[in-house]
Amino acid sequence: MSVTVRITERPERTLRVQAYIPEVIRGLSVTTRQMLRNLFGGKDITTIQYPEVKRRYPERYRGLHRLMHRDDGQVRCVACMCCSTACPANCIHIVAAEHDDNGIEKYPATFVIDELRCIVCGFCVEACPCDAIRMDSGVHVQPFLDRDTAFFDKGELLSRGTASEAVQGGTFKGSSHSHH
């Protein structure tokens, strides 16, 4: 098997080629042309006058996190750590505790999300087997002036949550048979 090698000549190394002057001029002409078109034409400019006019978020917009409630008002989270394990940004921190009355089921003694570290991927929502955490609040994350205000604790996350429609124990509301 023979290999064919093709030899090409190097381009001419003049000062004009090395300084990239033609490309710089071409780039500046594109910028200048766009600036003049926006300055004097202004018809195709798509600018939203925020904050007076706000964009409508799509239905699947991932807003701020919220924790869902059970029918009795307690948090649905059973501190299984699936959400914090699935989080690539490592922004969910949970400390588990056991209920005194049954000693079987756990609950989060602390549940904190660092919103500045969150990359809004939604993996925590997908990983949760209890429908305890959601990101469908539709609320845009506000700017933080202090790092300490970016930590959302269990109380704040529960205040945004509502009672979940999912029924624990493998059955669905309105269904006469159980799903295991």
The answer to whether residues 74 and 133 belong to one domain is yes
The answer to whether residues 98 and 155 belong to one domain is yes
| Contact in structure between 115 and 88 (CB atoms under 8 Å) | no
What band does 179 get if pLDDT is binned at 50, 70 and 90? very low
- Give me the CATH number covering residue 133: 3.30.70.3270
For 147-163, the pLDDT digits (tens) are: 888 999 999 999 888 87
Report d(CA 136, CA 36) in Å as an integer: 42
Q: What pLDDT, on a 0 to 100 scale, did the predictor assign at position 102?
A: 65
Out of 52-56, 93-97, 156-160, 166-170, least confident range: 166-170
The answer to whether residues 28 and 75 belong to one domain is no
- Confidence (pTM): 0.62
Domain count for the chain: 2
The answer to whether residues 75 and 31 belong to one domain is no
Tokens representing residue 23 in the block: 């490309």
- Asked whether residue 172 carries a pLDDT value surpassing 60, the answer given is no
Give the CA count within 13 Å in the CB-facing half-sphere of 174.
2
Tokens representing residue 104 in the block: 């079987």
Domain of residue 29: give its range: 13-47
For 134-149, the pLDDT digits (tens) are: 988 777 778 888 888 8
Q: Of 117, 113, 123, which Cα lies nearest the Cα of 67? A: 113
For residue 5, being part of any structural domain is answered with no
For residue 105, being part of any structural domain is answered with yes
The answer to whether residues 81 and 156 belong to one domain is yes
What band does 177 get if pLDDT is binned at 50, 70 and 90? very low
